[in-house]
Amino acid sequence: MRKLHVAIIDLVTKGPTRALYARIMHANLASIMPQVLGVWCEEEGHDVTFVCYTGFENLVEELPEDIDLVFIGAFTQAAQLAYALSNMLQSKGVVTALGGPHARCYPQDAQKYFDYVLGFTDKETIRDLLNDCSKHRPTGVCLSANQQPTALPGVRERWKFIEQTLQKAPLIKIVPMLGSIGCPYTCSFCIDSVVPYQPLDFDVMKEDLRFLLSKFKRPRVGWHDPNFGVRFNDYMEAIEEAVPPDSIDFIAESTLSLLSEPHLKRLKRNGFKAMLPGIESWYDMGNKSKTGKKTGLDKVKHISEHLRTVMRYIPYVQANFVFGLDVDEGQEPFELTKKFLDMTPGAFPAYSMLTAFGQAAPLNLEYQRANRVLPFPFHFLNNNHAMNVKPKNYSWPEFYDHLIDVSKHSFSWGAIFRRYKAVKPALPRWMNVLRAVSSEGFGRIKYHTEIRHRLDTDPQFLPYFEQETTELPQFYLDRIRKDMGSLWEWLPEGALYHDPNAYLKSEKEKSLTPLSIDVDTKPQPVEELDFVGAIPAPDLA
């Protein structure tokens, strides 16, 4: 096999930026799989150029001229950027492959713009691709292993890629680690709900933690597990065996049901500084928050008390919510959220609008069957810039009114100050302020207000939202063009549009086809969290 020059691009964001929050945090949102691919390609004897794109690099200049093959890892919000990059590189003779959440959510669409589209990816899959490494146009090949890999290169093996990425993080450096894949819970909107839970090798984890102590005085580790601590005792024993108590700062996403007081004590002792539990809804998901059949105000009181207990042990807590779920109706879910924030001033609220990411989750089939999925360009599908599922119990103006109201309440100066006072350690309290005044708090209030205004005044808006037309309002077109910078010129024709019901169609075709061989149509893990990032997107553990 000839030696290839492989480029790997991890798209953390969807276009150039100069934002302060992006400068501080984007490099900490790097994904693990692109680094894993780098290790595997080198092990196969190829040269690797690795680029983590945080929005501050010039992608055209970063890539060497003599690349044979490029792997691009992207969440759905970066799909248009990925398509443009692929088009530009294909025009120079480069073979292109797409991996990451977008490839798993929208394989049929990605096939139009890449030679290879990767589903579950193990070393064997990559070896096959490297051996073939040929152009597949106009329709790319989907490759997928039967399941997620059972072992992955650890931090030590990925270090050269981690180190070069963290050089771009000026203040806070968070090393991405993974202890398990999949999740035993079955939240119907989540990509990880269909991936069987499986812990990775605890010996590799222990070795990695010791290795990090040789690299940093006090390392920070962000666990990318969809739901950290499912096998709580095994994890804690591994950490306790590997490193002295409270010698590493850990950040993790976990279900509230795992955060009992004895567990919290142990987490604190072992250095856990930030937890991101998912509340999602005041009317659903009782199993993962351990609130059972409690709903509404009862659930607010119960969870508020629980989170106040969590915050006695863990200084930084982000509470995740999803708005627009079918169980929600009227003003109450938003009012309850406001009440919860008043009762729990230290928790940082992270809001997602209900989004159906292609074939990420079985629930999306139901939305597609009911013709409720809108064809918003991928660029806006980051849980906040567009909601692509028509709400069941709200008109669009009503929904946005409530969303703006709860956002203004959450990021008022009063709420910011209360949050600041409720959190004592300097880093988390200032991180809360930064997030509130940046694109996440103030920025989203401004953006949602603009959308709400246009629903009343822009004649293109409401017909598009109501699915009376598929003609994209000029507002969105202008915004993508601006966001993509110079790569807009390379966006292939038609790449702004996708079939919002492709998943349903592929399922129907599958039921008519006796056997399919190499086309992967399995769902994938979601995308990222605003804070810890690479935790697959609207990951909502």
Q: Which stretches of the chain bind ligand SF4, using CB under 6 A?
A: 183, 185, 187, 190, 192-193, 226-227, 255, 278, 288, 540-541
Our CB check for ligand SF4 shows the closer of 10 and 539 to be: 539
Q: Please choose, from the candidates 37, 81, 75, the residue with its C-alpha nearest in 3D space to the C-alpha of residue 59.
A: 81
Q: How far is the CB of 31 from ligand SF4 (least distance, A)?
A: 16
Phi, psi of 531 (to 5 degrees): -90, -60
Our CB check for ligand SF4 shows the closer of 178 and 541 to be: 541
Q: Give the orientation angle of helix 202-215 with respect to helix 232-242, to 10 degrees.
A: 40
Tokens of 451: 């959308």
Please give the Cα distance from 129 to 138 (Å, whole number): 17
Local structure of residue 258 (DSSP, 8 states)? G
Our CB check for ligand SF4 shows the closer of 161 and 228 to be: 228
Q: How far is the CB of 284 from ligand SF4 (least distance, A)?
A: 11
Judged by DSSP in three states, 505 sits in helix
Local structure of residue 472 (DSSP, 8 states)? P
Local structure of residue 373 (DSSP, 8 states)? B
Q: How far is the CB of 310 from ligand SF4 (least distance, A)?
A: 16
Our CB check for ligand SF4 shows the closer of 76 and 193 to be: 193
Judged by DSSP in three states, 247 sits in coil
Please give the Cα distance from 144 to 117 (Å, whole number): 8
Tokens of 430: 């200032």
Please give the Cα distance from 195 to 538 (Å, whole number): 16
Residue for token pair 């709580």: 232
Q: How far is the CB of 187 from ligand SF4 (least distance, A)?
A: 3
Q: How far is the CB of 539 from ligand SF4 (least distance, A)?
A: 6
| Radius of gyration of the CA atoms of the chain, in A | 22
| CA dihedral over 197, 201, 205, 208, signed as positive or negative | negative
Our CB check for ligand SF4 shows the closer of 352 and 407 to be: 352
Our CB check for ligand SF4 shows the closer of 428 and 525 to be: 525
Please give the Cα distance from 318 to 346 (Å, whole number): 9
Q: Which residues pair with 348 in a beta bridge?
A: 318
DSSP string, 295-340: -HHHHHHHHHHHHHHHHHH-SEEEEEEEES-TT--SSHHHHHHHHH
Phi/psi-derived region of residue 249, left when phi > 0, alpha when psi is between -120 and 50, beta in every other case: beta
Our CB check for ligand SF4 shows the closer of 147 and 460 to be: 147
Q: How far is the CB of 279 from ligand SF4 (least distance, A)?
A: 11
Our CB check for ligand SF4 shows the closer of 127 and 290 to be: 290
Q: How far is the CB of 255 from ligand SF4 (least distance, A)?
A: 5
Our CB check for ligand SF4 shows the closer of 105 and 541 to be: 541
Q: How far is the CB of 230 from ligand SF4 (least distance, A)?
A: 9
Q: Please choose, from the candidates 372, 413, 407, the residue with its C-alpha nearest in 3D space to the C-alpha of residue 390.
A: 372
Q: How far is the CB of 350 from ligand SF4 (least distance, A)?
A: 13
Our CB check for ligand SF4 shows the closer of 193 and 318 to be: 193
Please give the Cα distance from 289 to 301 (Å, whole number): 13
Q: Which residues pair with 73 in a beta bridge?
A: 10, 99
Q: How far is the CB of 5 from ligand SF4 (least distance, A)?
A: 37
Judged by DSSP in three states, 188 sits in coil
